[in-house]
Amino acid sequence: MTSFEKLNKIQLKNNTRLCVGLDPQMEKLPKPIPKNIEGIFEFNKIIVELTSKFVSAYKLNFAFYEQFGSRGIEILEKTLEIIPESTITIADVKRADIGNTSKAYARAIYEHFKFDCATVNPFLGMDSLEPFFDYKNRLNFVLIVTSNAGSSDFQKLKIDKKYLYEIILDKLLSNFSVQNLGLVVGATSENEFQKVREIASENFILVPGIGAQGGNLQNILEKNRNQNLLVNVGRDIIFASQDENFQDKIFQRTSYYYEKLKIF
């Protein structure tokens, strides 16, 4: 089964487009959890146990693990082991390099860690992405319009009559299949989301920027019109509370997004 098919299947099974971002921060761990590396795993385990029936994917941003060196990577690997087999895992690495190096990056993500999907950065060009797309059964989410303010610096520059992100999108769509190509568009760029959605009608779009970054979920859903979508929520769910009752709060926040992101 390809990652695209697996994502469709789990979205229908769990009836949700929700993806939870497993981006733990030691200093923000709730009071009952020790603020150490073991605490991070304990925290991830609680989140997965509380949320797994209400999500279709988990996205693990490597930065939050790599900052602790090899012990952080160990926690990342242990976390992957407790994620249900049927749920999609996304390596948020935003990678790509010259072809030869990209091959090693792709091998790490897809063969060593065995993720279903990865986020990749198109800045180095098509040959830097190809090693990821050579894994025909995996789904690569390419950054198109990011959720940060700096997305205007380059991505929204106009070249002749098109924005740079549109030029990148056209090139990607004409080279890669719907099964292989996912797109990242931040919820903070609603108009761009609408444009991308119109052009790429069948591809999965991964939307970060909801919750802590202030994106408007309702507006994105209206513009999406039931097409393939995965909405990531990180801090607004996992750090819903730092108090003793944090599990209840995480569950409440997950339920809130679950209701909004139901497919039928």
* Local structure of residue 243 (DSSP, 8 states): S
Q: Residues 164 to 203: which contact ligand OMP by CB under 6 A?
A: 184, 186
The smaller minimum CB distance to ligand OMP, of residues 100 and 176, is found at 176
> Which residue sits closest to ligand OMP, CB atoms considered?
234
Q: Is 119 in the site for ligand OMP (CB under 6 A)?
A: yes
Cα separation, 14 vs 254, in Å, equals: 13
Q: What is the 3-state secondary structure (H, E, C) of 12-47?
A: HHHCCCEEEECCCCHHHCCCCCCCCHHHHHHHHHHH
Pick between residue 9 and residue 235 the one whose CB is nearest to ligand OMP: 235
Query: What does the alpha-carbon distance between residue 144 and residue 164 come to, in Å, rounded to a whole number?
Result: 9
| Annotated catalytic residue 94 | yes
Site for ligand OMP in 146-165 (CB under 6 A): 146-147
Figure out which of the listed residues 213, 219, 224, 227 binds ligand OMP, where binding follows CB under 6 A: 213
Kindly give, in sequence order, each residue whose CB lies less than 8 Å from that of residue 174, ignoring residues fewer than 6 positions away. Answer: none
What is the per-residue burial (b if ≥16 Cβ within 10 Å, else e) of 147-157? beeebeeebee
Q: Which residue of the set 6, 9, 59, 94 is catalytic?
A: 94
Q: Does 71 bind ligand OMP (CB under 6 A)?
A: no
| Rounded least distance, CB 34 to ligand OMP, Å | 22
x/- mask, ligand OMP, residues 215-244, rule CB under 6 A, reads -----------------xxxx---------
Residues forming the active site: 94
